[in-house]
Amino acid sequence: MSEEAGSGNQVIIYIMVGAVVLFALIVMVYLMLKKRMQKSEYQKLKEMQAGTKSKKYSGEVLFQKLYITYVKIPFLKRYVLKLRRRLEIIDIDDEYSTRRDAAKVLTKALGIIIPLVILTIVITRTNILLMGILLIFELFMIDTFIDSSVDKIDNGILKEQLDFFSEIRHAYHEYNMVEEAIYQTSQDDEKNISKQGERIHEILISPEPEMELEKYYDIAPNSFLKEFAGISYLTQEFGDRKVDGSSLYLKNVNNISQEMQLEILKRDKLNYVFQSLAIISIVPILGLEPLKQWAVGNFSFTKSWYYGKTGLLVQILVMILTFVCYLLVRKLKDNGSTNITTKNLENPWQQRIYKTKIGKRLVKTFMPKPGTKEHRKLDLMLKDSASPLKMEWFYVNRIVLFVVAAIATMFIANQMHKVAVDWVYTEPTTDYDIIGDMSDRDKAAAEEVTAADNRILDKFKGNMQTTQEDIKREISNDEFYLANAENAMDTAAKRIYGKLQTINLEYVQWFEVLLAFVFGIVGYMGPVWLLRFQVKMRQMEMEDEVMQFQTIILMLMRIERVNVEIILEWLERYSNIFKGPISRCLNNYEAGAWEALEAMKEEVTFNLMLRIIESLQAAVEKIPIRDAFEELDSERDYYQEKRKESNSRLIKKKAMIGRMIGFAPMIALFVGYLIIPLVFVGLTSMSNTFTTMMNMTN
């Protein structure tokens, strides 16, 4: 043994020595080759490539490659194109940045949605209906995530604008030329705002700046850049002048900066308030299945409720409530940044349906005739809510929702019948209600009774003429029931007859068809109700918009050759809530300025807006514009403080409404899906058990 061990050790030593020698040879060869390559052309080529290669792997290249991959995938291509349409506004004429940002947003969305889809499938694998609804709901969430991601980029640009305008002021002091100041400030390629600055500079030096400016108004990311571009053009066109010892142009830039500061604070507060509400409104729909499993596992007497028709109905109602509340929270939080300007550029599915012969005929049947009171009322609601939908598209939505709601109701009703029949066939059969959990022995016995009952049910299922005596005669020939006493057979016949009645009644009934029609009507009216909600939310922001009008007038009123019509054009450009009345006023302005403004007064009921219209009327015929709005300049600080207070009240009001809507699904989940079943079913089960026990004692 010692000799074998010694020879084994020698072999190991030889292997180790050989490995060391081989390693030394490899090192020597490597050093020799390296020395030769340093003297050859290889080293020169390597040095030339060093300047063109990144020292580490670039994430920029990864996102460019991901973009190309996403575009090739049919399902993801839709989201990529949607992102492009919105990001192109921010990344002006910059294809590289547009692709990079689109890939970044979509990659983050997929990083969130894929684990969520996997989790949903794992949790709801036994409930196909719930799984399908959740997966559809998660597709909707991708759209929401994309919108919020682009809003985040838009908010980032808004914050960059503050520094940009600050640098503009310094550059203007140095060069005393608007276009030169903008050009010098826009040289920082690292910032997105620099692209906007370069575009504005190109407009100012173009042969037809006014035409180019109108084009820019359609694609500017926010109203503040529109204001800045417009003020820069007017200053270049009419010249700058001193007001109270300061440059009027710089004072106007400062006014825009103050407006931006208020808007940034407002958006930050709204984001803080609503970022958790959106999650809170979604969580209940993900907790339905785990909550059901917990309740059934700890309180077995609730099993018949959760796995029966009532449990399914409550589950669906919670899902619908969650979807509606999530949608309302999103609408409530929406700050209307870039989405309003891009949706009109799309060719939506509504248009494709409307182009078909059947679609056009249906829409014309339901849509009110132009010129009627209903048509004017609905058209005004679409404008007041800033909806991008045309009237025809809106009615396509209503008709589609009617059909979907009716079909979904019939499908759910059919599913509930199926659930009720399945429960009759699978529920462990006992002669008393179970308060606690059954032992394995009792459960096996109950399942054996259920299997025996199912054999009888299969023979009589669908026969509406079956009587209890027919069932008793049948079970008297069954070996399982022959072992029981006569009175036990009577009990079994009564029990099976009750089950048979339940099964035979589980079919589509007339009132379910009526309910499908009713829910179809609800779906048909849903877009109108949502439109009214949006109008109410926008009415809350009336004061904020009028105060923005005051800032615009304050900037324009001291510029030479600015008249009432120019002011109205600017107000229309930046208006949202009052866009309709101002547009109609401009259309009628040539026929008579005073009369057009008077007609606008009849449409508007908001007091602060009425005061602006009256001042414009005074500036048309009586006094200069500067005198008509002199109070805006003298009470500027007061209006600024009032604006802050107005924003604070608006945020508090939105937060209160948002909390009520956001927590509604959570309350419905715990109260309607947990507490009420536990209390009601528990008390009913105990009552039936005590009644059975008393009958047994008697």
Neighbouring CB atoms inside 10 A of 486's CB total 9
pLDDT of residue 429: 66
Beta-ladder partners of 247: 242
pLDDT of residue 5: 43
Q: Does residue 95 sit in the same domain as residue 223?
A: yes
Tell whether 495 is covered by a domain: yes
Q: Does residue 509 sit in the same domain as residue 545?
A: no
Comparing 537 with 161, the larger pLDDT belongs to 161
Q: What is the mean pLDDT of the chain?
A: 77
Bridge pairing between strands 246-247 and 242-243: antiparallel
pLDDT at 13 over 50: yes
Please answer whether residues 556 and 566 qualify as being in contact, where contact means their C-beta atoms are separated by less than 8 angstroms: yes
Q: Does residue 556 sit in the same domain as residue 467?
A: no
Q: Does residue 188 sit in the same domain as residue 320?
A: yes
Tell whether 684 is covered by a domain: no
Task: Write the DSSP string, 278-299.
Answer: HHHHHHHHHHHHHHHHHHHHH-
- With pLDDT > 70 as the criterion, what percentage of the chain qualifies? 80
Nearest to 438 by CA among 299, 295, 292, 289: 299
Q: Does residue 199 sit in the same domain as residue 303?
A: yes
pLDDT of residue 592: 84
3-state secondary structure 442-479: HHHHHHHHHHHHHHHHHHHCCCCCCCHHHHHHHHCCCH
Q: What is the mean pLDDT of residues 375-382?
A: 82
Distance CA 641, CA 662 (A): 31
Q: What is the mean pLDDT of residues 565-585?
A: 85
pLDDT at 11 over 60: no
- Residue 91: phi and psi, rounded to 5, are -95, 75
Give the total number of structural domains in the chain. 3
Tell whether 32 is covered by a domain: no
For residue 370, what is the DSSP state?
T
Query: In terms of residue numbers, what domain contains 376?
Result: 342-536
Tell whether 193 is covered by a domain: yes
pLDDT of residue 29: 56
Residues with Cβ within 8 Å of residue 103, at least 6 apart in sequence: 63, 64, 66, 67, 70
Q: Does residue 544 sit in the same domain as residue 524?
A: no
- Tell me the pLDDT tens digit for each residue of 190-213: 677 888 888 888 888 888 888 888
**Tokens standing for residue 168:** 């503009």
Distance CA 617, CA 209 (A): 30
Select from 482, 512, 536 the last residue of a domain: 536
Select from 536, 569, 586 the last residue of a domain: 536
Which segment of 115-129, 381-395, 422-436, 612-626 scores lowest on mean pLDDT? 422-436
pLDDT of residue 440: 64
- Tell me the pLDDT tens digit for each residue of 16-46: 665 666 666 666 655 665 565 555 444 544 5
**Tokens standing for residue 208:** 């037809």
Q: What is the mean pLDDT of residues 442-461?
A: 73
- Tell me the pLDDT tens digit for each residue of 209-221: 888 888 888 778 7
Beta-ladder partners of 242: 247
Residues with Cβ within 8 Å of residue 514, at least 6 apart in sequence: none
DSSP H or E run through 246: strand 246-247
Band (438; pLDDT cuts 50, 70, 90):
low
Helix 309-333 vs helix 128-175: crossing angle, to nearest 10: 10
Distance CA 196, CA 56 (A): 31
Q: Does residue 562 sit in the same domain as residue 480?
A: no
Distance CA 318, CA 287 (A): 11
Q: Does residue 566 sit in the same domain as residue 510?
A: no
- Amino acid identity of residue 630, one-letter, is E
- Amino acid identity of residue 579, one-letter, is K
Please answer whether residues 90 and 192 qualify as being in contact, where contact means their C-beta atoms are separated by less than 8 angstroms: yes
How many degrees, rounded to 5, is the angle at CA 526 between CA 266 and CA 284?
Answer: 65
Please answer whether residues 471 and 493 qualify as being in contact, where contact means their C-beta atoms are separated by less than 8 angstroms: yes
pLDDT of residue 479: 67
- Tell me the pLDDT tens digit for each residue of 492-513: 777 777 777 777 777 777 787 8
Distance CA 698, CA 691 (A): 11
Q: What is the mean pLDDT of residues 242-248?
A: 79
- Tell me the pLDDT tens digit for each residue of 55-102: 444 567 887 888 888 888 877 777 787 777 777 666 665 677 778 888
Q: Does residue 303 sit in the same domain as residue 347?
A: no
Please answer whether residues 259 and 296 qualify as being in contact, where contact means their C-beta atoms are separated by less than 8 angstroms: no
pLDDT of residue 89: 65
Tell whether 210 is covered by a domain: yes
- Amino acid identity of residue 19, one-letter, is A
**Tokens standing for residue 433:** 């209600």
DSSP H or E run through 665: helix 636-667
Q: How many residues are recorded in the chain?
A: 698
Q: What is the mean pLDDT of residues 587-602?
A: 86
Band (48; pLDDT cuts 50, 70, 90):
very low
Neighbouring CB atoms inside 10 A of 389's CB total 18
Which segment of 301-305, 342-346, 478-482 scores lowest on mean pLDDT? 342-346
Select from 536, 556, 590 the last residue of a domain: 536
Question: CA 29 → CA 24, 44, 144, distances in Å?
Answer: 9, 22, 60
pTM (2 d.p.):
0.67
Nearest to 141 by CA among 329, 272, 390, 353: 329
Tell whether 698 is covered by a domain: no
Please answer whether residues 249 and 172 qualify as being in contact, where contact means their C-beta atoms are separated by less than 8 angstroms: yes
For residue 302, what is the DSSP state?
G
**Tokens standing for residue 617:** 């009327």
Q: What is the dihedral of CA 164, 166, 169, 170, to 10 degrees?
A: -100
Comparing 683 with 161, the larger pLDDT belongs to 161
Q: What is the mean pLDDT of residues 633-661?
A: 79
Which segment of 157-166, 371-380, 426-435 scores lowest on mean pLDDT? 426-435
Q: Does residue 309 sit in the same domain as residue 378?
A: no
Tell whether 20 is covered by a domain: no
Neighbouring CB atoms inside 10 A of 370's CB total 9
pLDDT at 332 over 60: yes
pLDDT of residue 658: 85
Please answer whether residues 254 and 227 qualify as being in contact, where contact means their C-beta atoms are separated by less than 8 angstroms: no
Please answer whether residues 301 and 434 qualify as being in contact, where contact means their C-beta atoms are separated by less than 8 angstroms: yes
pLDDT at 474 over 50: yes
Comparing 484 with 160, the larger pLDDT belongs to 160
How many degrees, rounded to 5, is the angle at CA 302 between CA 301 and CA 307?
Answer: 125
Please answer whether residues 643 and 547 qualify as being in contact, where contact means their C-beta atoms are separated by less than 8 angstroms: yes
Task: Write the DSSP string, 221-254.
Answer: SSHHHHHHHHHHHHHHHH---EETTEEHHHHHHH
Question: CA 18 → CA 10, 13, 23, distances in Å?
Answer: 12, 9, 9
Q: Does residue 220 sit in the same domain as residue 353?
A: no
Tell whether 646 is covered by a domain: no
Please answer whether residues 353 and 400 qualify as being in contact, where contact means their C-beta atoms are separated by less than 8 angstroms: yes
Of the segments 126-130, 272-276, 478-482, 524-528, which one has the largest average pLDDT value? Answer: 524-528
Q: Does residue 419 sit in the same domain as residue 391?
A: yes
